[in-house]
Homo-oligomer: A and B are copies of this chain.
Amino acid sequence: MTDKDHTPDWIEKAPLKESFRSVFKWGAPDKFKNPSQGFWQVIKQELNLSASDCQTVIKFGEETVQKNTGIAIQAEDIKAFEVIAGFDNLFFDTFSRLKYSSGKSMEDILNLRENEVKNISDIVLHPRNKEDVKKIVSLCHQKKIPVHVYGAGSSVTFGLDCPEGGVTLVMNTHLNKMIAFNETDQTITVEAGMMGPEYEDLLNNAPEKLGAKKRYTGGHFPQSFEFSSVGGWVAALGSGQASSYYGDACDLVISQEYVTPAGSFKTLDYPAAATGPKLNDIMKGSEGCFGVLVAVTMKIFQYMPENTKEFSFMFPDFEKSVNAARQISQAEFGMPSILRMSDFEETDVAMKMYGLEGSILDKFMRFKGLKPGQRCLLMGQADGEKSFSKNVFRQIKKICKKNKGLYLTGYPMKKWRKGRFSDPYMRDALNDCGVLIDTLESSVTWENIHTLYKNVRSYIKQHPDTICMTHASHFYAQGTNLYFIFITRMQAIDEFRTFQRGIIDRIEENSGSLSHHHGVGRMMAPWMEKHLGKEQMDALRAIKNHFDPDGIMNPGGLGL
């Protein structure tokens, strides 16, 4: 730590093997991203950090996970799992069990830094194929052993916790292969554990890798893209950064294959059908509570990056920016693939992060009446066929101009693109200095967006010395989402938990959905019955009870 500028000496050291840090650290072990000088200055100022505050105050979690946690599964069952999946694919050391039962919420990380070992599975299995999964689920059903499914571990909703122990099935070790590619139908069928980058790489390089005529894209790029699986996207209803054009994960799924205690099945492979309620829809978002998603058939799209048109605009205030975004979403010239609308606080931070504050551009904006503390950035890109994306770009310019937006070129998009998948690395660095950072998100209609925004933000800002950056990044004719990023300092996990749960309360009370794309897990579970109402929760319970009469599939997930 350099006293001079109060900038910490960021840790850039791969975590020790089998350490708690290796469990919670984001992404690749040897990759790091520290806050830029600009961003760190904002944090120091807004969080009112003194020199001593900038010293590390919470634990690094460098301790090795001890290997002595008891196992509630009997030896004969362990033997049976070994016979099914093979000796090499069964683990019961505490580190493995902790690793595959941990997600990436702030609370997960705080607990791991404190060397907490709780809610872990008894056994970790890496099934080799669908048949292994069938045998495991069948055995667990017979022996009433809980089954948890781990895609790639990016859950931020305690989706991987195993409060009753049991087994965790790790899908991305072996169940990560392509099953079929159909260029005529523009679909690809993959095992659920295929990771985002492999999936996209196959499609982008389809001529070389699949003998295809054209290049394709999956169109799904969540911030966790590099460390999430295709099955996870579907099971927890994720959304990618380009969802406004390509659709949310649920829109991309043509069919799914499931293994449940009540049997295995593959949903129908039709572009549309009127054969009653669709199992393909009923299973989406079931988060492992009905069964194990083993394979998915997804829509794919032509990969035409040469047609991408980037844009950005600065608006005098949030209301004008919201109006422009709503008009864009309802104007029927097609949607931009990416659209990101920041509130003034996120905009101010972005100006500092991107080194724009105080620049000539900044001065010009101020001259034009676009002032810090008010001005709001809206940016994005159009994709698709060449004239289509050009027209989307042209029409967006028109609408933004009409709403007093100042065109700022595609520059901010280029800045954003650099950090689009790597920003999560910054969290570990900030946490090392005791700066907590977490996010909650919600979907909302246009009608209710300002109420939700104001009331959730004001609750967050009531906490002293707290940054609250808000943006919307998934757009529909009927509304959008709000994504709240809060950065603060707190001494105790309990204090953080109370604060964070308070935000969920405010979201639920102000017409926001409990989640737009993070899923339910065990974090939102306590609110589910209030949010959906008893009748709808009872219906979900009935479906759960059909597929899983003994409640072994992800017990407590979804609040079921």
Which residues of A come within 8 Å of B, CB atoms? 182, 184-187, 236-239, 248, 254, 260, 262-265, 267-279, 281-287, 289, 299, 301-302, 304, 326, 330-334, 383-385, 387-388, 391, 394-395, 443-447, 474, 476-481, 513-520, 524, 528, 531-536, 538-540, 542-543, 545-547, 558
CB-nearest residue of chain B to A441: B274
Bound together, the chains give a CA A53 to CA B255 distance in angstroms of 50
Residue of B nearest to A290 (CB): B277
User: Could you say which residues of chain B place their CB within 8 Å of the CB of A514?
Assistant: 273, 275
By the criterion CB–CB under 8 Å, are A185 and B478 in contact?
yes
**Are A182 and B447 within 8 A (Cβ)?**
yes
CB neighbours of A281 from chain B (8 A):
277-278, 281-282, 284
Interface pair A394/B385, CB less than 8 Å apart:
no
Judging by beta carbons under 8 Å apart, are B443 and A513 in contact? no
Contact B391 A330 (CB under 8 A): no
Report B-chain residues with C-beta under 8 Å of the C-beta of A302. Answer: 330-332
Closest to A274 in B: B237
On whether A271 and B447 interact (CB within 8 A), knowing A391-B388, A536-B279, the answer reads: no
Within the complex, which residue of B275, B444, B477, B524 is in contact with A299, where a contact is CB–CB below 8 Å? B477
Contact A276 B285 (CB under 8 A): yes
What's the Cα separation between A508 and B367 when bound, in Å? 68
Task: Tell me the complex Cα distance, A459–B477, Å.
Answer: 45
CB of B387 within 8 A of CB of A271, answer no
Q: Give the shortest distance, in Å, between A142 (CB) and chain B (any CB).
A: 18
Are A513 and B285 touching (Cβ within 8 A)? Answer: no
Nearest CB to that of A187 among chain B residues? B478
Query: How distant is A293 from chain B, measured CB to nearest CB, in Å?
Result: 13
In the complex, which residue of chain B has the Cβ closest to the Cβ of A519? B274
* B387 close to A540 (CB less than 8 A): no
Contact B276 A481, beta carbon cutoff 8 Å: no
Q: Is the CB of A479 within 8 A of B270?
A: yes
Bound-state Cα–Cα, A394 to B388, Å: 11
Please, could you name 19 A-B residue pairs with CB atoms under 8 Å apart, sorted by A? A185-B445, A187-B478, A237-B274, A262-B535, A271-B478, A271-B480, A272-B479, A276-B289, A276-B520, A276-B558, A277-B282, A277-B285, A279-B532, A301-B332, A302-B331, A332-B384, A332-B385, A333-B385, A391-B391
Q: How many Å from the CB of A538 to the closest CB on chain B?
A: 7
Asked if B479 contacts A275 (CB within 8 A), the reply is: no
Q: Which of the residues B274, B332, B476, B513 comes within 8 Å of A520, measured between beta carbons?
A: B274
CB distance from A249 to the nearest CB of B (A): 9
Question: What B residues does A515 contact at CB under 8 A?
Answer: 273-275
- B186 close to A330 (CB less than 8 A): yes
Closest to A386 in B: B333
